[in-house]
Chain A
Amino acid sequence: MPESTLVEAVNLALARAMQDDPNVIVLGEDVGVNGGVFRATVGLQQRFGPERVIDMPLSELLISGACVGMAAQGLKPVGEIQFMGFLYPCIDQLVNHASRLRKRTQGRLSCPMVLRTPHGAGIRAPEHHSEATEAMLAHIPGLRVVMASSPERAYGLLLAAIRDPDPVVFLEPTRIYRAAKGRVEDDGEALPLDVAFVLREGPDVTLISWGAVVRETVAAAEELAADGIDAEVIDLATLKPYDEETVLASVSKTGRCVIVHEAARTGGVGAEIAALIAERALLSLLAPVVRVTGYDAIIPLQRLEQYYMPSVGRIAAAARKVYHFS
């Protein structure tokens, strides 16, 4: 089996979903002939036709809103927003419609749509192309927010998102679109949503992360192992609703927790997890829960962006501090 990059895994999942289910429609800007700005949809229009792979007018609100209408009619639209910084016109549709169509019609209509978008910094892109604002989405009841951190999980989670009967925002870590490689078996097997993945087991400290920085988190765990600190690494994967039990079970075991995310600190998903631990696992804790996150600064342009994101060094330092806390 050849290796696939994360973006190739996304493409494989889209193709598989479209092949399995004639109701799956891909729509977005440049997704057709051009195959998407990151090539996530490459080849799909040639294979499935322009009616199923729609080059949309340049309008993000429309992409999300048209998804709602299509989904209510029983199609399974998968919209693409080119960068997370262009997703904000979709917020009205996500909050006021997609997430609540089932609820406000008491199940008469539903909204099985997926909105995919690249997430995060690190590709030296122009302004507005490096956003990591998943927390605002994770705050919306009725929505699912999923983020892949490896080709295998991108494939399985995207298939699950498309098959899910409710709206899902699917975040794809831009920085590792091509850097992450793995053996993805195109077997149509979905991974479970709402479940966190334990990537590395260890008794000493729990490291929780999602998206591109899962890679730095794993690297930090390896560095810590060399020092004799055996860390457990959890990829949260689904941020809404998230897998509380896996988090609590791990923290109950280790008593120490570092939460790592690229997004700004205040009001981030990390704050939610820290609050959960405080509410439900306080007496297991042997040290304060520490967050290693993007700063509460606007993500800087490319000359400084590497200083913004959590590095292996910052993560390992935080883990050591937590580990050595008396």
Chain B
Amino acid sequence: MTETLSGDEQFPVIARFEIRRRAYLAPDGTGLRRLPSFAFDIALLVSFYRAMVLARAFDLKAVSLQRTGRLGTYAVALGQEAVGVGIASAMREEDVLLPSYRDSAAQLWRGVKMEEILLYWGGDERGNRSSGPAHDFPHCIPVGSQAPHAAGVAYAFKFRKQPRVAVCLFGDGATSKGDLWEAMNFAGVHKLPVVFVANNNQWAISVPLKLQTACETLAQKAIAAGFAGEQVDGNDVIAVRAAAEEAIAAARSGEGPRFIEAITYRLGDHTTADDAGRYRTPEEVQRRWKEEPIARLRTYLVSQKAWGKAEEEQLVSECQERIDAAAERYLTEAPRAPETMFDHLYAELPKVYASQRDELKGGSNA
């Protein structure tokens, strides 16, 4: 498709593909076409809005805690809240989420507590014990390396004939890794119930998409693995949810994997340890602010008379209250004894390591 190898048309075309881009709300919040049926449940859209506002406010709090030395490095999802909420809201409790490190919004929707996310990024693995579904994976840090896990989880579902779906979230950078391809390839072969979701936020730290791939879309990578991919406006939570709903339903009913490429933009730095000003212009970022997902949905909700100033003010203060309370619980979490670094290393600590653990118990090594 990208290139014609030969002008000679005597040979038959034996494969073609197309990728569609789904969008319902324009950046200005007006409708582009008839909305999917779930979107007529205005209370549901309000719940999406509330979740996105909470996720963004939570990110801001996390950054503020990091800047004041009370949290470690943190990856904000600024501008990408619709991906997390749109995808997670289409999942069932029994499905398995395999998130990346930028997917707090999805994790919060799944029931992970804010103080747990803070606790992990504050340097304590107990945060990953998580109040979300016990079978969900913790966020993955080595990029794309959770994709094979998603394939394995999906294989287990298929093997046990359980109508469950694995949902794997990753960024555009992950699509350059073999891990993702290898997982997609296997999922295609066995028609596994897994949905791969690329949060294409245009930047992998400092490397722009055009240096990541020569493909017109990331979604078309699914074609090579033998299943369908589509692109959605990742700043349109209705589009993300609709695509996720369809893909998850298809996977659940045995139709095999799907790939969703959600086009977003990373409005923030890669992490609190990054300075995006080194590699992109403020003008570019400014331009992208006009497309961000929260204002878009708010405009739509206001146009539907489902949202107003009073609701907004109440939501903001409610979020603040919840976030502050969560931060307080995080900050007052009792520290762990040093020897707990040996907890959960194995189901049962091999006795040869007991002396190392005991050395920590004394506390004299620090």
Give chain A's interface residues, CB within 8 Å of chain B: 25, 51-52, 54, 56-57, 59, 61-62, 64-75, 77, 89, 92-93, 96-97, 102-110, 141-142, 144, 165-166, 194, 241-244
> In the bound complex, what is the Cα–Cα distance between A146 and B155 (angstroms)?
27
- Beyond A73-B157, A105-B128, A105-B138, 20 additional pairs, beta carbon < 8 A: A57-B185, A57-B186, A61-B178, A62-B151, A66-B151, A72-B135, A72-B137, A73-B135, A75-B159, A89-B178, A93-B148, A96-B141, A96-B145, A103-B343, A106-B126, A106-B343, A109-B135, A110-B347, A166-B346, A194-B352
6 contacts between A and B (CB under 8 A): A69-B156, A73-B96, A105-B125, A106-B129, A166-B347, A194-B352
Give chain B's interface residues, CB within 8 Å of chain A: 96, 125-126, 128-130, 134-135, 137-138, 141-142, 145-157, 159, 166, 178-179, 182-183, 185-186, 189, 343-347, 350-353
Name the one of A70, A89, A103, A165 contacting B155, with C-beta atoms under 8 angstroms.
A70
B155 contacts A141, CB within 8 Å? no
A59 contacts B156, CB within 8 Å? no
B352 contacts A103, CB within 8 Å? no
Name the one of A25, A54, A61, A109 contacting B148, with C-beta atoms under 8 angstroms.
A61
> In the bound complex, what is the Cα–Cα distance between A168 and B17 (angstroms)?
43
B352 contacts A244, CB within 8 Å? yes
> In the bound complex, what is the Cα–Cα distance between A104 and B126 (angstroms)?
8
A72 contacts B345, CB within 8 Å? no
Output the nearest chain A residue to B149 by Cβ-Cβ distance.
Answer: A69
Output the nearest chain B residue to A62 by Cβ-Cβ distance.
Answer: B182
B151 contacts A108, CB within 8 Å? no
B345 contacts A25, CB within 8 Å? no
Contacts of A66 in B (CB 8 A): 148-149, 151-152, 155, 183, 186
- Tell me whether A65 and B183 are in contact in the complex, defined as CB-CB below 8 angstroms, given that A73-B135, A105-B130 are known contacts: yes
Contacts of A69 in B (CB 8 A): 148-156, 166
A102 contacts B347, CB within 8 Å? yes
B125 contacts A65, CB within 8 Å? no
Contacts of A93 in B (CB 8 A): 145, 148
> In the bound complex, what is the Cα–Cα distance between A107 and B343 (angstroms)?
9
> In the bound complex, what is the Cα–Cα distance between A59 and B178 (angstroms)?
9
A105 contacts B129, CB within 8 Å? yes
> In the bound complex, what is the Cα–Cα distance between A299 and B353 (angstroms)?
33
> In the bound complex, what is the Cα–Cα distance between A51 and B151 (angstroms)?
14
Q: How far is the CB of B124 from chain A (nearest CB, A)?
A: 9
